[in-house]
């Protein structure tokens, strides 16, 4: 079957196969993306990030249901920690969203981080494009929520929602991870827990002190996702932000920057693969490693010489 042709007709199996090809870097992946690209640029991409245990998957589940109730189709990319045994995603997020899998208007895909430094596999952007070409109205990208690298979500999203919960020192975590800079919308989940109001006050205080404040002040919404409380208000905040960036030219700027970053990522990846393959083919890799180990040369000199030789 022609994967691209079938995907554009709405064949879910073709979409699944396309993302598998992208994720595993199959030979046909590049051709698939070339053909899909003219059909992209229509979906709204929402990034959902925050520390582990914040209930991001439950919140994503409830938001997806609410958008479906509006008649919109939804794609969900859940970035899971990669299994150290198989290299595949552990699928925790997909299990938590099990109720959505029967809905034909929702497509869920778990992707492994595969050791990618940003916590986001560099293939995520291509998976977003595949869902966009498939015709999804809204695409959620939910991060694994580990460490300070969550800022990478910004590269893939139009609007970024940061999910925090009371009682985890989130105020400190927020400053550390640069969350103030990336959050367009803040959501305090598990708001029935002690400390929710205190966290809202602290977040407001930090926003007041933030020198990066623009005309858009990120709203802070308390929710109890497990009980479906605050979901309507959260969607209103997301839509207000999308309206704001659309009307002020910020959306165009963000998407331009994203295109530039994607092009550079592909360039870096291809150059890296080309050089690595050449080294392996010629058998020089082991030779260089031995020289470096014996301190006869250093990695910096080797790389500098390789770049001169291969990119003349």
Alpha carbon distance 301, 304 (integer Å): 5
Strand order in the sheet with 185-188: 106-112, 74-80, 138-142, 44-49, 159-164, 185-188, 220-222
Together in a domain, 210 and 113: yes
Q: What is the CATH number of the domain that holds 174?
A: 3.40.50.300
Q: What percent of the chain has pLDDT over 70?
A: 82
- pTM for this structure? 0.85
In a domain, 28, yes or no: no
78-122 residue pLDDT tens: 887 654 444 444 455 555 566 677 788 999 998 876 555 443 557
Q: Tally the domains of the chain.
A: 2
Indicate the pairing of strand 159-164 with strand 44-49: parallel
Residue range(s) defining the domain that contains residue 121: 41-248
For residue 1, being part of any structural domain is answered with: no
Verify that 211 and 134 share a domain, yes or no: yes
Looking at the domain assignment, is residue 216 inside a domain?
yes
Predicted local distance difference test score (pLDDT) of residue 170:
52
Instruction: Give a yes or no: residue 125 inside a domain.
Output: yes
Q: Is the same domain home to 55 and 174?
A: yes
Q: Report whether 24 contacts 117 (CB < 8 A).
A: no
Residues 155 and 294 in one domain: no
| CA gap 50, 69 in Å, rounded | 26
pLDDT, tens only, 229-279: 999 999 999 999 999 999 999 999 999 988 888 888 888 878 888 888 888
Other beta carbons less than 10 A from residue 217's beta carbon: 11
Least confident piece of the model among 73-82, 105-114, 151-160? 151-160
């Amino acid at each position: 079957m022609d994967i691209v042709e079938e995907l554009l007709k709405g064949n879910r199996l073709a979409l699944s196969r396309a993302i598998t090809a992208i994720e595993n870097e199959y030979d046909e992946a590049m051709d698939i993306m070339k053909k899909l690209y003219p059909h992209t640029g229509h979906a709204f991409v929402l990034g959902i990030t925050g520390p582990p245990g914040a209930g991001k998957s439950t919140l994503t589940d409830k938001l997806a249901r609410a958008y479906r109730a509006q008649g919109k189709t939804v794609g969900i990319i859940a970035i899971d920690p990669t299994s150290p045994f198989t290299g595949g995603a552990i699928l925790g997020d997909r299990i938590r969203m099990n109720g959505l899998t029967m809905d034909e208007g929702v497509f869920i895909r778990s992707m492994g981080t595969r050791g990618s430094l940003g916590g986001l596999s560099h293939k995520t952007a291509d998976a977003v494009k595949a869902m966009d070409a498939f015709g999804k109205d809204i695409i959620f990208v939910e991060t694994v929520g580990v460490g300070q690298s969550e800022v990478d979500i910004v590269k893939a999203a139009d609007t970024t929602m940061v999910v925090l919960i009371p009682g985890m020192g989130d105020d400190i975590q927020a400053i550390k991870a640069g969350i103030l800079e990336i959050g367009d919308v803040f959501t305090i989940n598990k708001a029935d827990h002690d400390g929710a109001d205190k966290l809202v006050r602290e977040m407001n205080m930090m926003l007041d002190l933030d020198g990066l404040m623009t005309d858009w002040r990120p709203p802070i919404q308390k929710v109890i996702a497990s009980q479906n409380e605050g979901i309507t208000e959260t969607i209103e905040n997301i839509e207000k932000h999308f309206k704001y960036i659309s009307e002020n030219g910020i959306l165009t700027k963000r998407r331009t920057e994203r295109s530039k970053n994607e092009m550079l990522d592909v360039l870096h990846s291809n150059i890296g693969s080309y050089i690595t393959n050449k080294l392996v083919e010629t058998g020089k890799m082991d030779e260089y490693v031995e020289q470096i180990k014996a301190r006869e040369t250093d990695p910096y000199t080797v790389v500098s010489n390789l770049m001169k030789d291969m990119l003349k």
